[in-house]
Amino acid sequence: MSSKGALSGLKVIDLSRVLGGPFCTQILGDHGAEVIKIEPPQGDETRGWGPPYNDAGIAAYFAGTNRNKRSISLDIRHEEGKKILLKLLEDADVVVENFKTGSLEKWGLGYDDVLSKKFPRLIHCRVTGFGADGPFGGYPGYDAVIQAWAGLISINGSPDSGQVRLGIPLVDLGTGMNAVIGILMAVNERHVSGKGQSVEASLFDTGIQLQHPHAANYLMSGNAPKLTGNSHPNIAPYDLYPTRTTPVFLGVGNHGQFTKLCASLGEPDLAKDPRFADNSLRVTNREALNEALNKLFADKDGVEVATQLLAAGVPAGAAMSVPEAINHPHTRHRNMVVEMDGYKGTGVAVKLSRTPGSAKSIPPSFGAQGRDILKEHGFDDGEIENFVSDGVLWEQPK
């Protein structure tokens, strides 16, 4: 098996900060791309999003999306900084950025006017909040802000809790994944055309895309979704059930699974109840079904019964805490926690049989590889010292 990864040979210049862009480039780096992270003089904002911090002062938030990269800090608004960036782009395949729309153009680095002409094979990926055009075009966006505008907060929560922000930055993460998909589509198309192109992945578009099944339900029925808590609007039983210990979530998608559920819980006749004969009836009679299931789960150990149900072919999950999930034997078996040189992070989710991805280098300190990167691209020590004294190249204070 190759240890280099499926994207070995792909050079990526990462101008992005915060989450969507860096998550995208970390995935590319995990699979072998060379990623040079260019940070502004003040650094990626997430370097300060803590605690916790490790012994080197790197925030966990930053560390979670910036392994397998080398860091250089440039002021690309400075003429010399622009020249350095253009030098780095000469043999690059991809540039990823999430500046406010129009910023690169203002600095004389726009894709259409400059970069595509200088580097016809370059693939430009822009991660934005709301996209570059439209009524909100160019506006800034953070994950929770987009959750609100895209309607995601409106469908998350229960009638008792009211609307609740999703507990993970799903829109940012999804946008990063969409950016990866878009970049690889463009790389594939370039094999035919020999030309690069611009890829846009916006948080708003991703937020709307992720509105499944609520958007599909509304577009077909015309009825606005309601808060349903843990239950699913289209499926039953699809809910969280209390046990003697850890609650258990059921995701029963067909009648065969429902029959196995009832048999495994020692109540096979429940599957024959005419109120629960198919999914539509179970959704209609959800309250009665949940009452029956709550009684069956009440005296059970959550982890034990969920494990037994899985083995019986019933989709069931014990509602584990983050530490429990991270340390679960299956998590460790799937190599979904990586540890190296004092760094700990989540593993590589996409498994390739011949060219697997891997964590090869720890998240970099601010500007740590700047001098090395410049030397590799033909700059000598004297030029580099001038860049530092002129405020073009920034390094972490010693």
The band of 396, judged by pLDDT with boundaries at 50, 70 and 90, is confident
Catalytic residue among 44, 172, 205, 239: 172
> 330-369, pLDDT tens digit by residue?
999 999 999 999 999 999 999 999 999 999 999 999 999 9
Cα–Cα distance for residue pair 157/160, rounded to 1 Å: 8
Non-local CB neighbours of 334 within 8 Å, separated by 6+ positions: 347
pTM: 0.94
Q: Is 172 a catalytic residue?
A: yes
- Which residues touch 335 (CB under 8 Å, ≥6 apart)? 347, 348
Mean pLDDT of 258-273: 97
Of the CA atoms within 13 Å of residue 266, those in its CB half-sphere come to 6
Tokens of 109: 């680095």
- The answer to whether 166 and 211 have CB atoms below 8 angstroms apart is no
Give me the pLDDT at residue 287, please: 96
Confidence of residue 1 (pLDDT cuts 50, 70, 90): very low
Check pLDDT > 80 for residue 384. Answer: yes
Give yes or no for residue 278 having a pLDDT over 90: yes
pLDDT, tens digit, 9 for 90 and up, residues 133-186: 999 999 999 999 999 999 999 999 999 999 999 999 999 999 999 999 999 999
Cα–Cα dist 270/261, whole Å: 9
Q: Can you tell me whether residue 318 is helix, strand or coil?
A: strand
Alpha carbon distance 277, 283 (integer Å): 11
Contact between residue 289 and residue 276 where contact means Cβ atoms under 8 Å apart: yes
What's the confidence (pLDDT) of residue 398? 61
Complete DSSP assignment for 360-372: -SPPPPTTTTHHH
The verdict on whether omega for the bond into residue 40 sits within 30 degrees of 0, i.e. cis, is: no
- Find where tokens 């699974």 sit: 257
| pLDDT tens for each residue of 17-26 | 999 999 999 9
pLDDT of residue 358: 96
Rounded CA separation 70/260 (Å): 51
Place of tokens 């996209």: 131
Residue 3 pLDDT > 90, yes or no?
Answer: no
Among candidate residues 177, 85, 66, the one with its CA nearest the CA of residue 127 = 177
CA angle 328/178/143 to nearest 5° reads: 75
Report the distance separating Cα 5 and Cα 258, nearest Å: 42
Average pLDDT score over the chain:
96
**pLDDT tens-place string over residues 89-125:** 999 999 999 999 899 999 999 999 999 999 999 999 9
